[in-house]
Structure 1
Amino acid sequence: MSLKVSGLCKQINHEATLDQISFEIQPGQIVGVIGRNGVGKTTLFRTINGQYLLDRGTITVDGETLLTQPDLRTRLSFVDPQANFFKGATAQQVAWYYQVAYPDFDLAKFNQLLTRYGLAANQKLRHFSKGMFGLFTIILSVATGAPYIFLDEPLDGLDVIVRKNVLSILIDEAATQKRAIMIASHNLSELEGIIDRALMLKGGRLIHDYQLETMRLQARKLQLVYRDKKIPALLREQGHIVSVSGRVIVVVFEDFTPTLQAALAATEPAFQETLPLSLTDLFMANLTDAGDYELLS
């Protein structure tokens, strides 16, 4: 079982929003989709789930093409947080609609989670706060029974206690090995704690597919101090400079080999320290533009 996206291209207003996106996910995985604002994360989810027609490429679910097998859409769940289709309906009425659309919809689980988080089944969605609506979309997504769940900024607007409970729900769902969950989020610190992979988008392209365990073994984040303010070429050529403050340079090397370590020693830093590496560091290393901060040298 898998969801496979191959060479997906999508234009919005005659501009290439997504260009040659390819990846594959299997049940049991929690995959983060990260990138700067406007990079196409929501467009990706909408295109996979049929809200937008793709311009080129293929999407297959368990080996069958989604375009020619529309019934396969019941295996995908994406509750668009920006959609206003059901804002005049109550939570219970929305569940009734979804029961028709999803043959495996679990009404008992839906009602149980509504009660657990204090959401009124008879309250109209337009009266939900932003956080309440975000929580509702997660409950609805989980209750569909779909093996592939897509969540767009699911933690946005939730307080810290509800966020932790929501993350526990998602981990439990993935642990069954029957569901794959894709999450687009700017909350990188909490995302890092639950995802197995991180797909990084830039300029409409997929520039990295990080397996986080592998990344932690291979990559290094170093703080270096040199006697003068000159930045060695090695740091720019083989690393990603995260920050420069006077003579102190913080740099991320994604493939820190013994050869690179020897070459780095040859630059004769006055001080070198290994720092904890996070998903935020990879985000900054790959997606920070020159205009975002001034590199002093």
Structure 2
Amino acid sequence: MSLVINQLSKRIDHHQTLDGISFEIGLGQIVGVVGRNGVGKTTLFRTINGQYLTDHGQVLVDGQEVVDQPEMRTQLCFIDPLANFFKGATIAQIQWYYQAAYPDFDNAKFAQLLDRYHLTSKQKLRHFSKGMFGLFTIILSVATQAPYLFLDEPLDGLDVLIRKNILGILIDEVATGNRSIVIASHNLAELEGVIDRALMLKHGRIVNDYQLEAMRRSARKVQLVYRDKQIPAVVKQLGHIVHVSGRVIVVVFEDYNAEVQAQLATTNPVFQEDLPLSLADLFMANLTDEADFELLS
């Protein structure tokens, strides 16, 4: 089974929020959707899951277009963290609703996870803290047994111990090979520890689709120091500048090879050092605009 997003577009308030987005996800993956505030990550999740009608494009599950086969929506699950229509309901009432919506809803798993985190079926969502609400939506998502789960900022507001437990739950769910999880998050450090792949979203489009293991083999983060404060043109052409401090420049080269190394040598840096490459570095490399450059300086 695969999920295919084909040329998905959506305008909101006359703004092109999504502009021809395409990607495919098989089972057994944890995929991060990374982008700056307001770039359209939540809109993407809502459009894929049918909360918004598409202006153009297709969402296909196992080769079937979801808009034509509504029963295929049970293969997708997105619990919108901003939705308020369940706030007055109890956990038991919400469980009943999701049992009706998802025929494979796993009551045993749901009860087990509620018990682990000391939640009871009589509790109402309106009494939950932000972190507890986030925890509950993850428990509910996992229990639906939908092959594709969409989580929007799932770690936001959770304390460090619950975050570690939740990440463990998500990894265990994917390890079976029967489901995939798509996560939008600003917590890049924790996201990096669990995702296999990162979709970089900018101006309503996917500007890069990284397989992180392959990226770590080919990319390099390099710190360079020059005698003056001028950045050599070849550095700008071959790499992405992620930090500037006086004469010190930090650059990410996505395809660092012998040719790049030789061209760097011609710039005669007085100091050069390789640094560990992180997901935050890729974020900076892809999503920083010219207007941000003064901040980097």
| Aligned residue type for 1:96 | W
**SS at structure 1 position matched to 2:290:** coil
* Residue of structure 1 equivalent to 2:192: 192
Contact map agreement 1:49 1:77 (CA 8 A) in 2: yes
* Residue of structure 2 equivalent to 1:72: 72
Residue 92 of structure 1: CA displacement? Answer: 1.5
Contact map agreement 1:79 1:151 (CA 8 A) in 2: yes
Q: Deviations over 1:154-203 (max 9, x none)?
A: 00000000000000000000000000100000000000000000000000
Residue 101 (1) aligns with residue 101 (2) = yes
Over 6 Å off, 4+ runs: none
Contact map agreement 2:155 2:163 (CA 8 A) in 1: yes
**SS at structure 2 position matched to 1:74:** helix
Residue 85 (1) aligns with residue 76 (2) = no
Q: Distance in 2 between matches of 1:158 and 1:66?
A: 33
Q: Distance in 2 between matches of 1:290 and 1:26?
A: 36
Q: Distance in 1 between matches of 2:241 and 2:203?
A: 20
Contact map agreement 1:246 1:296 (CA 8 A) in 2: no
Contact map agreement 1:119 1:132 (CA 8 A) in 2: no
TM-score by length of 1: 0.98
Q: 1:106 to 1:38 in 2, by over 3 A?
A: same
Residue 293 of structure 1: CA displacement? Answer: 4.7
Q: 1:38 to 1:296 in 2, by over 3 A?
A: closer
* Residue of structure 1 equivalent to 2:178: 178
Q: Deviations over 1:73-113 (max 9, x none)?
A: 01101000000111110112101110000000001111110
**SS at structure 2 position matched to 1:182:** strand
| Aligned residue type for 1:141 | S
* Residue of structure 2 equivalent to 1:115: 115
* Residue of structure 2 equivalent to 1:129: 129
Q: Distance in 2 between matches of 1:32 and 1:243?
A: 24
* Residue of structure 2 equivalent to 1:288: 288
Residue 28 of structure 1: CA displacement? Answer: 0.2
* Residue of structure 2 equivalent to 1:265: 265
Q: Distance in 2 between matches of 1:108 and 1:68?
A: 32
Give identity over the alignment, percent. 72
Taking the TM superposition and a 5 Å limit, the aligned residue runs for 1:1-16 are 1-16=1-16
| Aligned residue type for 2:92 | Q
| Aligned residue type for 2:235 | L
**SS at structure 1 position matched to 2:221:** strand
Residue 291 of structure 1: CA displacement? Answer: 3.3
Q: Distance in 1 between matches of 2:156 and 2:240?
A: 29
| Aligned residue type for 1:245 | S
Contact map agreement 2:242 2:296 (CA 8 A) in 1: no
Q: Distance in 2 between matches of 1:275 and 1:121?
A: 49
Q: Distance in 2 between matches of 1:228 and 1:172?
A: 51
Residue 41 (1) aligns with residue 41 (2) = yes
| Aligned residue type for 1:42 | T
* Residue of structure 2 equivalent to 1:245: 245
Residue 281 of structure 1: CA displacement? Answer: 0.5
**SS at structure 2 position matched to 1:154:** coil
Q: Distance in 1 between matches of 2:90 and 2:236?
A: 55
Taking the TM superposition and a 5 Å limit, the aligned residue runs for 1:152-171 are 152-171=152-171
| Aligned residue type for 2:74 | T
Residue 38 of structure 1: CA displacement? Answer: 0.4
Q: Deviations over 1:111-163 (max 9, x none)?
A: 11011012222110010000000000000000001000000000000000000
| Aligned residue type for 1:146 | A
**SS at structure 2 position matched to 1:291:** helix
Q: Deviations over 1:188-241 (max 9, x none)?
A: 000000000000000001100000011101110000011111110011111111
What count of residue pairs does the alignment treat as equivalent? 297
| Aligned residue type for 1:74 | T
Q: 1:95 to 1:239 in 2, by over 3 A?
A: same
Q: Distance in 1 between matches of 2:292 and 2:19?
A: 25
Q: 1:123 to 1:290 in 2, by over 3 A?
A: same
| Aligned residue type for 1:228 | D
**SS at structure 2 position matched to 1:260:** helix
Residue 26 (1) aligns with residue 21 (2) = no
| Aligned residue type for 2:285 | A
**SS at structure 1 position matched to 2:291:** coil
Structure 1 segments unaligned to the other structure (5+ residues) = none
